[in-house]
Amino acid sequence: MADTAHIPFREVPYLPLKLEVDRRPDGTIYLDSGQPLKGCPPHMLAPLVKWAAEAPDRVWLAERPKEGGEGWREVTYAQGLAAVKRLAQGLLDAGAGPDAPLMILSANSVDHALIKYAAMWTGSAVVPVTPAYALLSEDLGRLKYIDRLIEPKFLYVEDGAAYQRALDGLGVEGRKVIHSGDAPERCDAVRIEQFGRAPGAEVDAAYDRLTPDTVASYMMTSGSTGEPKAVINLHSMVASNAKMIRSVWDEARLDEICGGPQVWCNFLPWSHTFGAHSVLHNMLDWGGSLYIDEGAPTPARLPAMIRNLKDIAVTQHTTVPAAWAALATELERDDELAQNFFSRLVSMAYGGASMGQDIYERIQAVAVRTTGERISLSAGYGATETSPTASNVHWPNDRMGLIGLPLPGNTFKLVPAGEKLELRVKGVNVTPGYYRNAEKTAEAFDDEGYYKLGDAVKFVDPANPERGLAFDGRTAEEFKLSNGSWVSSGTVRVQAVAATDGALSDAVVCGLNQADITLLGFLNEAWCQRLTGEALPLADLARHPAVTAHIRERLKAYNKAHPNPASRIARILLQAEPPRADSGEITEKGYLNQSRTQALRQEQVNLLYSGKSTPEILDLSE
What's residue 479's pLDDT? 79
Residues 7/369, Cβ–Cβ less than 8 Å: no
CA–CA distances in Å: residue 386 to residues 194, 215, 426: 36, 15, 9
Cross-strand partners of 451:
425, 445
pLDDT band at 34 (very low <50, low <70, confident <90, very high): very high
44-53 confidence digits (pLDDT tens): 999 999 999 9
Distance CA 552, CA 545 (A): 10
To 10 degrees, what angle do helices 321-333 and 357-371 make?
40
The verdict on 66 and 191 lying in the same domain is yes
pLDDT-derived band at 606 (thresholds 50, 70, 90) equals very high
| One domain for residues 175 and 271 | no
Task: Tell me the average pLDDT across 510-518.
Answer: 91
Average pLDDT, integer, range 298-327: 94
Query: Shortest CA distance to 266 belongs to which of 298, 221, 312?
Result: 312
Q: Decide which of 109 and 588 is more confident.
A: 109
Q: What's the whole-number average pLDDT of the chain?
A: 93
Q: Residue 580: what pLDDT?
A: 83
In a domain, 393, yes or no: no
167 CB burial (10 A radius; 0-12, 13-18, 19+): buried
> How many angstroms separate the Cα of 480 from the Cα of each of 77, 196, 476, 539, 561?
54, 58, 12, 32, 21
Helix (H, G, I), strand (E, B) or coil at 144: helix
- Average pLDDT of the residues in 239-257: 96
Q: Specify whether the CB–CB gap between 396 and 441 falls below 8 A.
A: no
Q: Are residues 264 and 168 in the same domain?
A: no
Q: Which of 136-140, 414-418, 590-594 has the lowest mean pLDDT?
A: 590-594
In the prediction, which pLDDT does 203 show? 98
First to last CA, the chain: 29
Of 333, 349, 375, the last residue of a domain is: 375
Query: Cα(559)–Cα(340) distance, rounded to whole angstroms?
Result: 39
Q: Are residues 370 and 273 in the same domain?
A: yes
Of 112-116, 283-287, 290-294, 616-620, which range is least confident?
Answer: 616-620
Question: Has residue 591 got a pLDDT over 70?
Answer: no
Specify whether 130 is located in the same domain as 269: no
Q: Give the tens place of pLDDT for each residue, 230-240.
A: 999 999 999 99
Q: Rounded to whole angstroms, what are the CA distances from 370 to 318, 329, 337, 365?
A: 20, 15, 10, 9
Q: Indicate whether 461 belongs to any domain.
A: no
Sheet holding 73-76, edge to edge: 73-76, 59-63, 289-292, 263-266
The reply to whether 236 falls in a domain is no
Residue 622 binned pLDDT confidence (cut-offs 50, 70, 90): low
Per the domain annotation, does 530 fall within a domain?
A: yes
In a domain, 111, yes or no: yes
Packing angle of the helix pair 110-122, 77-93 (nearest 10 deg): 50
Tally of domains within the chain: 3
Give the strand pairing for 377-382 and 59-63.
unpaired
- Tell me how many degrees the CA angle 81-86-92 measures, rounded to the nearest 5: 120
Which of 329, 358, 375 corresponds to the end of one domain? 375
What integer is the mean pLDDT of 531-552? Answer: 95
User: Which pLDDT score is estimated for 69?
Assistant: 76
Does the model's pTM come out above 0.95?
A: no
Whether residue 224 has pLDDT greater than 80: no
SS (H, E, C) 63-92: ECCCCCCCCCEEEEHHHHHHHHHHHHHHHH
Q: Which residue type sits at 45?
A: L
CB 501 within 8 A of CB 554: yes
- What is the extent of the structural domain holding 339? 249-375
Question: Which run of H or E residues covers position 466?
Answer: none
Assess whether 260 and 122 both reside in one domain.
no
Q: Are residues 258 and 365 in the same domain?
A: yes
Neighbours of 78 (CB within 10 A): 16
Specify the pLDDT at position 2: 64
What mean pLDDT is predicted for residues 83-99? 98
Per-residue confidence (pLDDT) for residue 244, from 0 to 100: 98
Per-residue pLDDT band at 8 (split at 50, 70, 90): very high
Is residue 476 over pLDDT 90? no
How high is the pLDDT of residue 587?
Answer: 62
Is 392 a member of any domain?
A: no
Asked if residue 331 lies in contact with residue 527, where contact means CB atoms within 8 angstroms, the answer is no
Rounded Cα–Cα distance for residues 83 and 142 (Å): 32
pLDDT of residue 275 exceeding 90, the answer is: yes
Instruction: Tell me the pLDDT tens digit for each residue of 563-574.
Output: 888 899 999 999
Question: Positive or negative, the Cα torsion across 276, 278, 280, 284?
Answer: positive
Rounded average pLDDT over 386-399: 95
- Out of 210, 235, 270, a domain closes at 210
- Does residue 486 surpass a pLDDT of 80? no
Kindly state whether residues 185 and 306 are assigned to the same domain. no
- CATH code at 499? 3.30.300.30
| pLDDT at 67 exceeding the cut of 60 | yes
Greater confidence (612 vs 268) lies with 268
Residue 589, pLDDT > 80, answer no
| Residue 351 banded pLDDT, cuts 50, 70, 90 | confident
Percent of the chain with pLDDT over 90: 81
Average pLDDT over residues 11-17: 95
pLDDT confidence of residue 223: 53
> In degrees rounded to 5, what are phi and psi of residue 178?
-100, 135
Distance CA 85, CA 92 (A): 10
Are 189 and 256 contained in the same domain? Answer: no
Q: With 60 as the cut, is the pLDDT of residue 1 above it?
A: no
Query: Do 199 and 265 share a structural domain?
Result: no
Whether 570 maps to a domain, the answer reads yes
Residue 602 lies in a domain: yes
Do 61 and 184 reside in the same domain of the chain?
yes
Question: What are the tens digits of pLDDT across the range 424-468?
Answer: 999 999 999 999 999 999 999 999 999 999 888 999 999 999 999
Q: What's the CATH code of the domain at 193? A: 3.40.50.980
State whether 50 and 173 are in the same domain: yes
SS3 445: strand
